[in-house]
Structure 1
Amino acid sequence: MCAIVQPDIDITSENLLETFLSKDIRLGTSTPGADPSGDYAWKLFERADHLKPGSFDILSRKALLLTGGPTSQKPPKDRNAYGWVMGENKADIFLTYCSNAVSAAMDTPGIQVVSIPAELSVVANYGLLERKGAPENAWRLALYILSPAGQKILGKYGFEPVAN
C-alpha cells in the first residue's frame, strides 16, 4: 500500500503514522467489505495499533470511505478515481494500492506518493501461471510480463519486480 498525499502536507515514511493520527488530517480509504483496498487499509490500522495502542480506534473512526462502496461518488469517466478524490480535496491523505497511487499521481500533478514503512505495510501478492493447453499467445504474454521490459512497465505502475 501507499499513501497519496496533498502537496501541502509535510509527510515522510518516518512520520506517516503520527501524521495519520493528527486530528487535523482527513484520511481517506476505500470501503472495507466492498473493496479489498479498504480491507487492506483496516489491516494497516490494526498494525498501527500494535505500534501505538489506540491507533485502530482513532484511524477507523476518522477514515473517510471515499471509493469502492455502493454509495461512493463516481469520478468523471476521463479521470483516475484516486486522482479525482485528491484533486477535489476530499482528503488530505488517501490509502490505496501503490499501483493506484502511481496512476493518481499521473492524473493529478502535484500530489505526493509516500511509501508505507515496513512495520505498517500490508502486501498483496500476485501470481502468474499458464493454464495447461493455453494458446501460444498466453505463454508469450507470460514471458513478456516476466522479461526486463515487462517488469519495467509493471514497476512504472507501482508493482515490485518479480525478483523481490
Structure 2
Amino acid sequence: MPQITFAVAGSLAAALTDFARAFTARTGHEVQVHRGPAGLLAEAIREGLPVDVFVSASPHGPEALHREGLFGPPCTIARNRMVLVARPGLESSAEDPLALLADPRWRIGMSTPRADPGGDYAAAFLERLKTEDPRRWQDLGPRCVSLYGAVLPDPHEPLRSPALAALIEGQADMLIVYATTADRIAQALPGTRVLPLPLELAPLTEICACVRCDGPKPAHRFFEALQGADCRPILRQHGFLAVPGQPG
C-alpha cells in the first residue's frame, strides 16, 4: 500500500502521532511522520520535502502552500490558546499574568518567530502589550528571549518538549507557550503555575491541515479523517479545543 508522508507541528506531534497509528491500524496505510516547528516545515516543503499532508499550528504555512498551488485549501481542525508558565519556586505570589510579566526580575522565554508559530503568537502578544501601554512595557523586549524552535529536530530522536527542557535547565523564569505545552510542563514539574493570557491580547490560535493537490488517494483519506470523528477525541484528550460548530 502507498505510504503517506505527514508533516506535523511539534506542538501537535504527540496527539497526531497517536492518530496516525490508529489510522494505520484501521486502514493498513503506513504514515511516515515528520515533526518540527511548522514554519520550518512549510519552508522545507516548498524546497522539496516530500509531504502529502501537513498540519500546522497556524494557518499561515498551509495558506501559503495553497496560494502556490502545491496544496489544497486548508481546514481548521482544532484550536489552542496561549498561556504564561511560571517555574516552580518563582518568588512571587501574583496570579495576574501581566503583573508577573511586568516584574523586571524575571526572564521570559518563548519559541522562535517565523520559524515556529508559537514564537509568532508570543511575539504578537508582546507587541500588543507594548502598543497598549508603551511606558509600562518599555523594558520587556530585553527580557524576552527565543530559546527553542529554530531548527528541525533529528527525526531519530525521541519526542521531547524543548519548552520543558528550557525551564528545567533554568534558561528562563517564565515561558509564553501553548496551553497544551503548559499542561505537559505542569505534569513534569510539580509547582509550575499556568496562567491563561487575556484573550483580547492573545486570541485563540487555529490549527490547520492541508493535503497536497496531487497526493495519493490514501493521503486525501487521511486528510479527511483528520477532520472527522476519529480524530476529534484524540485532540481533546491532548487538551486541544474544538472549532466552533464542530461536534464534540
Instruction: Name the TM-score, length of structure 2 as normaliser.
Output: 0.52
Q: Is the 8 A contact 2:88 2:189 kept in 1?
A: no
1:139-150 pair list within 5 angstroms: 139=221, 142-143=224-225, 145-147=227-229, 150=231
Residue number among 134, 147, 150 corresponding to 1:66 in the alignment: 147
Structure of higher CA gyration radius: 2
Q: Distance in 2 between matches of 1:38 and 1:142?
A: 28
- 1:115-146 per-position Cα deviation (integer Å, ceiling 9, x unaligned): 11112214432234567785357436634653
What is the CA-CA distance between 1:94 and the residue it aligns to?
0.5
What is the CA-CA distance between 1:30 and the residue it aligns to?
1.7
1:23-102 pair list within 5 angstroms: 23-69=104-150, 79-102=160-183
User: 1:109 corresponds to which residue?
Assistant: 189
Structure 1 residue runs of 4 or more that deviate by more than 6 Å after TM superposition: 130-133
Which residue identity lines up with residue 193 of structure 2 in the other structure? Q
What is the CA-CA distance between 1:38 and the residue it aligns to?
2.0
What's the RMSD between the two structures over aligned residues?
3.0
- 1:27-60 per-position Cα deviation (integer Å, ceiling 9, x unaligned): 1112334333222211111111233223554222
- Give the percent of matched residue pairs that are identical in Structure 1 and Structure 2: 25
What is the CA-CA distance between 1:97 and the residue it aligns to?
2.4
Gapped runs of 5+ residues in structure 2?
1-81, 152-156
Instruction: Name the TM-score, length of structure 1 as normaliser.
Output: 0.73
What is the CA-CA distance between 1:93 and the residue it aligns to?
0.8
Q: Is the 8 A contact 2:109 2:145 kept in 1?
A: yes
Task: Determine if the alignment matches structure 1 residue 135 to structure 2 residue 217.
Answer: yes
Gapped runs of 5+ residues in structure 1?
71-75
